Amino acid sequence: MKKLIYIKNNYIIQLIILLAIGIILLNTLFVYPIIGKCDNGDFGRLLLYGGLWDLSTTYEGIYDRFVHLNYIISKSHMFIFFGKNWVSGSILLKLAVFISLLLHQFDNRLFNIRYLAFVYSVIFLWGIFLIVNFKRLSTLLKAAVGICIILFFTDTSYISYFNSFYGEAGTIVFFFLNIGTYLNLITKEKPLIRHFVYFFIASAGFLTSKAQELPLLVFMLIIYAGLFIYYKEKNYRKCIIIGSLLVTILCSASYISLTDRMNQNNIYQSVFLGVLRGSSSPEKDLEELGVDKKFMVFYGKSFYNRHSGHDPVGEEMLKEFYPKVSPLKILVFYIKHPSRLWQKIVESAEGAYAFKTPGPWNFAKGQYAPNKAVNTFRTNLVNNYSKIHRNIFVFILFSLIYFTITLTYFIKNKNRDLRLLILMLLFILLSGASQLILPVIGSGHGDFGKHLFLLNFCYDIMVVIALVWLVHIILKIIRKNKFLDLVRK
């Protein structure tokens, strides 16, 4: 009885929020007809680590633009823990496959994708609980955070990834867990070592959830440095140093695991569908990159185009193109040509928020239900106000205001937990703003809308932060006015 009273007094808001989110997740991802994502060719990278195979054996069957619910389990492949194109989501997939086998007494070779959605949902809810439970939030602010998370992040444009093998699902849940474990850590007067460990695991999970997130290690190291500065005890600093090194090593290993084919794909697209795209002098651009202009035959053509008579991974390309081009070289090219850099930044803003309401491609074959009750609040906002969501000047203005306010708080306040909080707020800004150019450098305009996912996600998190901050300011003004009224009386 005492425990129930304690929970009611301390966690009632959190529980209400988790219950609401849980109901939305259950209805969207688990109750037929379920919503998910169809395979566009990326599933194979993760399927390997789960020891899973599509039930279909033909190209047309695998890529039929419908969600596939069931996959064949190959137990022998489950023991591949690290290999090519490794991402942190592979651990979660192995856990989901193990749960499936355990519940079927290791006697069923079929894996239902909802087991993976279950694992993602649990981590998602855990991260949200830690965020809403942040000690600096009043009851009203906890409610505001919860409502914003429900409206924005249970939208199908986000949670439909949970019923898929895309890396975006790992990005979502690990980023929330990264923020949640960090808030849980910095609000404790004397945190335990395990609280640091939780944060390092969550941050490693986020950074390695997709190859695209690996460069963000540079920004994460700033947070690690902040922890080192503000936690001076010897055991804390030892843990922080070890944790930082292990995360860096894991990120390096994940980068090294990228196959030659993936690196070639990214470089090819960053040049022929990036640097040369919209250029008035594409041949000159190739020569500036140190590449023979004879490779102009690939200009505007997809890496997967094998019908033009020119092979993107042919002998000439392998000897004379890929060894001469790198992401660093492409970055230097854009720095030398600021007008082209600006052009790409504008194009990134214009390609942001490629959100769509659920269509047949979000359902299993024959199960399309356009009237299924789901949350499309964020998607509708994007589609109804597309000029705001895809305007580079809106991105810049919002970023400057956000940065100025957070920096002002950092300068004016000396509290350890507040300054560390601001470091995380700045990390979210840097992670989002960097996506205006990093995807273009990394893979040009290939699958552009999907590669801008982190841009959308980070700026939505910042919008939620801004909305909650505004509620905080309004509440302060109301309390101040009430106090003044009492004084006058």
d(CA 89, CA 49): 9
Q: Are residues 285 and 406 in the same domain?
A: no
Q: What pLDDT score does 307 carry?
A: 60
Q: Are residues 304 and 368 in the same domain?
A: no
Q: Are residues 176 and 300 in the same domain?
A: no
Residue in the block written with tokens 């290791």? 106
Q: Are residues 179 and 37 in the same domain?
A: yes
Alpha helical stretches, state H, 30-138:
43-50, 59-62, 89-103, 114-132
- Indicate whether 204 belongs to any domain: no
- Is residue 423 within 8 A of residue 186, CB to CB? The reply is no
Q: What pLDDT score does 403 carry?
A: 97
Instruction: Please give the residue range of the domain that contains residue 139.
Output: 12-187+354-382
Q: Are residues 68 and 163 in the same domain?
A: yes
d(CA 54, CA 137): 46
Q: Are residues 64 and 150 in the same domain?
A: yes
DSSP label of 29: I
Q: If we measure between CA atoms, which residue out of 146, 137, 139 comes closest to residue 20? A: 146
Structure tokens at 200: 């390092």
Q: What residues of the chain score a pLDDT lower than 50? A: none
Q: Are residues 307 and 367 in the same domain?
A: no
- Indicate whether 237 belongs to any domain: no
d(CA 437, CA 251): 21
Q: If we measure between CA atoms, which residue out of 188, 197, 259, 238 comes closest to residue 417? A: 188
Taking the C-alpha atoms of 76, 78, 81 and 85 in order, what is their torsion angle to the nearest 10 degrees?
100
- Indicate whether 38 belongs to any domain: yes
- Indicate whether 405 belongs to any domain: yes
- Indicate whether 62 belongs to any domain: yes
Task: Answer whether the bond into residue 358 is a cis peptide, omega within 30°.
Answer: no
Q: What pLDDT score does 451 carry?
A: 83
- Indicate whether 220 belongs to any domain: no
Q: Are residues 403 and 280 in the same domain?
A: no
Phi, psi (rounded to 5 degrees) for 129:
-60, -45
Q: Are residues 133 and 20 in the same domain?
A: yes
- Indicate whether 201 belongs to any domain: no
Q: Are residues 43 and 166 in the same domain?
A: yes
Q: Are residues 376 and 365 in the same domain?
A: yes
Q: Are residues 270 and 302 in the same domain?
A: yes
Q: What pLDDT score does 426 carry?
A: 97
Q: What pLDDT score does 9 carry?
A: 66
Report the amino acid identity of residue 99: I
Q: What pLDDT score does 312 carry?
A: 83
Total domains, the chain: 3
β-pairing, 70-73 vs 110-112, is antiparallel
- Indicate whether 483 belongs to any domain: yes
